[in-house]
A and B are shown apart, each in its own frame.
Chain A
Amino acid sequence: MAQSVELSEELLRQIGAEKSKLGEIWGFIRRWPIIPLFLLGLLIFTGVFADLLAPHDPIIARPDNRNIPPVWETPIILNIKTTADPLAFPDPVDKPIEEAMLQYGITPTLENMATQEAVETAFKEIGYVAKVKWSSWEHILGGDNIGRDLLSRIIHGARVSLVVVTVALIFGLLIGVSMGLVAGYFGGLIDEVIMRVTDIWLGLPFILVAIVAVIAFGQTFTILIVLLGILSWTPFVRNVRGEVLSLKTRDYVSLAKVAGCSTFRILVWHILPGTINTIIVIATLRVGQLILTEAILSFLGAGIPPPTPAWGAMVNDGRPYINDAWWISFFPGVAIFLVVMSLNFLGDWLRDRLDPRLRQLN
């Protein structure tokens, strides 16, 4: 066997098809989930150390920083009005500083375009008040609609997502796995009832029920976690039950019964370990769904209570300003995308590694 491998490598070398170093790295990246693990690590890291990492406070609003663009956007002059009439309605300009200066007859130089103050004084000298939208390294991703630093809010949003989703998943895991174990092990009427309840649950228009529940019990962290928890248990029941059906016929389970183990002990110590692979795979794929659902609830105003930063709510904040300040909605959405994508990738990878039978699962 080893000989044939050597031979083929020798052959490959001879015909010049030897894999390049770059190809090897690419192959490594494709074989192992490097990028997803890196992104998830980053999420957990920013979530845990959000207070240290965020450059600004995520909650205190500074109206001066309203809608300031991300650092790579060219600063623009929003509008201009004369100093003579303070009540006059400003003329909209929406042009880069250089063009606006030429329009108003100022010669643009490096000095008078260097800072916000310089631009403002340049206009003040000829009797105008200019409203400048300035970008700076101070706010790398810009500011949101009421002047909070976007990057800081995204960093703190990572923590919120992390906490909510982790607790909700544990909650759903406990319900789902225990129901799956019971349904599969005891069978009969209990099985029938549990499976039908699961079916009905799947047909529930969850988002509507969730919004009603939020209105009924108030918009709090606890309610959100409970809601996401009761959303997440169904796939665990179905798959764990399927596993248990085959596991319970194994000899070691019968032996445990003969040896006088209690039913609880058999379920937890003899059957549960056999379903761990399935549980891990489903949990990973489920977390992504939970993050998306949490974002949708926050977007509809039924999620995490404001002003706590949540990615979904941040996208909604930027919606009225999408024409002038696309970044407010754009970046939180990218954050959601990266996390969910990583989780999906990792879930697929784990599934192929641990439990290829679940390939049909989506």
Chain B
Amino acid sequence: MEGARSMIVFLVRRIIFACFAMIGATFITFGLSRAAGDPRYLYAQEGGYGLTQERWDELGRELGLDKPLVWQYTVWLANIVKGNWQDSLLDRKDVFGKIMDRLPPTLKFALTSYIFAGVIGIPLGVLSAVSRGSLWDYVGRGFALFGQALPVFWVGIMLILIFSVKLRWFPTGTLGEGFFEWKYYVLPTITLGWIAAATYLRLVRSSMLEILDSEFIKLARAKGVSYNTLIWKHGFRNALIAPLTFSSLLLTGFITGAVVTETIFAIPGLGRLAFQAINNNDFPIMVGVVLVWTALYVTMNFFTDMIYALVDPRIRYT
């Protein structure tokens, strides 16, 4: 009974937090886009489409430009709640449709990067902690060292130079025509996933070292538990907590990485869409992308908290 109540309190708190996070992020973007100038200039700038005075005024009324900022934002928010994402300014298409078009490529290579980070970072972290001072330890720490200090964009450019231009192993530019052509994914995945893999590796390594040094491992060892069970069942399970909590922060790192990776590899994804929209001051798209992104972040945050509570029973919903 007590558990169910605290669960509800936890959920309510989380939902309120999620709403505040999404409103905060979109309001900041909305306000900044208004500060960047009148969005109608997109049509009126030199070499633009040209507008008659009547159309200019009409558009102003449509977008509510004569009202105060907070009012404009509230109108936008009310529309979102009703499921109307408005049309983009440049090509007058539904923003939600545009975002849904661009989301799959980004999600696909973000997912492969995340898998790359987990598959490389976590085992290498365990290995380098278990055999401390060995060759594997040096390999792992070197991998983490470079991953954390090399700039993402530089890694991308150099990968293209070596593996695409010189060796001609992998194609670059877009993600191919098919649903999943793996050759196109290799370089973007490494570019985006390396830093995440490095972070996972460091976290797993340090928490593994700490746990292998703890009393309950010594007890298990004294009881004669086999080496593999000791490492993977007793040690590893507990060492996973730190990297798990980091997962939602990893996602925020991915948006930066995605904008850069998509720019370098010419991938038509969400990051590109946002970047172009910002340069056009196309605010419905800008705010829409930010909204989708913050929603992903709060959802991810929620799930990591849930998994956290499942993995570590000492932690209750707080």
Contacts and interface: CB of A to CB of B under 8 A. Distances in A.
Interface in A191-220: 196, 199-200, 202-209, 211-213, 215-217
A312 B289 CA distance: 25
Given A204-B294, A205-B290, A360-B206, A212 B20 contact: no
Contacts of A362: 199, 202-203, 246
A322 interface: yes
Given A203-B297, A312-B153, A196 B32 contact: no
B119 interface: no
A199 B14 CA distance: 12
B20 A200 contact: yes
A200 B278 contact: no
A19 interface: no
List the 5 closest A-B pairs by CB distance, nearest first.
Answer: A333-B154, A216-B36, A341-B149, A216-B35, A340-B149
Contact of A216 (B32, B150, B153): B32
Interface string B248-281: 0100100110011001100000000011001101
Interface stretch (B42-50, B108-116, B157-165, B175-183): B157-165
Interface stretch (A81-89, A93-101, A176-184, A323-331): A323-331
Interface string A101-112: 000000000000
A70 interface: no
Given A296-B260, A333-B150, A212 B278 contact: yes
A312 B150 CA distance: 12
Nearest to B144: A344
Given A208-B290, A337-B150, A337-B151, A330 B158 contact: yes
Contacts of B264: 319
Contacts, number: 145
Contact size range, B: 35 or more
B152 interface: yes
Given A209-B29, A340-B149, A344-B148, A299 B260 contact: yes
A209 B154 contact: no
A200 B16 CA distance: 12
A129 interface: no
A75 to B, nearest CB: 20
A360 B207 contact: yes
B153 A316 contact: yes
27 contacts: A199-B21, A200-B20, A203-B21, A203-B297, A203-B298, A204-B294, A205-B289, A205-B290, A207-B259, A208-B274, A208-B278, A209-B28, A211-B278, A215-B281, A295-B151, A296-B153, A299-B260, A300-B260, A300-B263, A312-B151, A319-B264, A322-B160, A329-B157, A332-B154, A333-B151, A341-B149, A362-B202
A214 B210 CA distance: 44
Q: Is the interface of A mostly helix, strand, loop or mixed?
A: helix
Given A299-B260, A340-B148, A344-B148, A326 B32 contact: no
A209 to B, nearest CB: 6
B20 A196 contact: yes
B173 to A, nearest CB: 13
Nearest to B207: A360
B97 interface: no
Contacts of A199: 17, 21
Contacts of B206: 359-360
B304 interface: no
A288 interface: yes
Interface string B5-38: 0000000000001001100110011001101110
Contacts of A344: 145, 148-149
A326 B148 CA distance: 23
A336 interface: yes
A292 interface: yes
B263 A212 contact: no
B286 interface: yes
A288 B36 contact: no
A332 B281 CA distance: 31
Interface string A212-236: 1101110000000000000000000
Interface string A1-42: 000000000000000000000000000000000000000000
Interface in A317-355: 318-319, 322-323, 326, 329-330, 332-333, 336-337, 340-341, 344
A204 B28 contact: yes
Contacts of B249: 202
Contact of A209 (B32, B37, B207, B260): B32
Interface string B214-256: 0000000000000000000000000000100010010010011
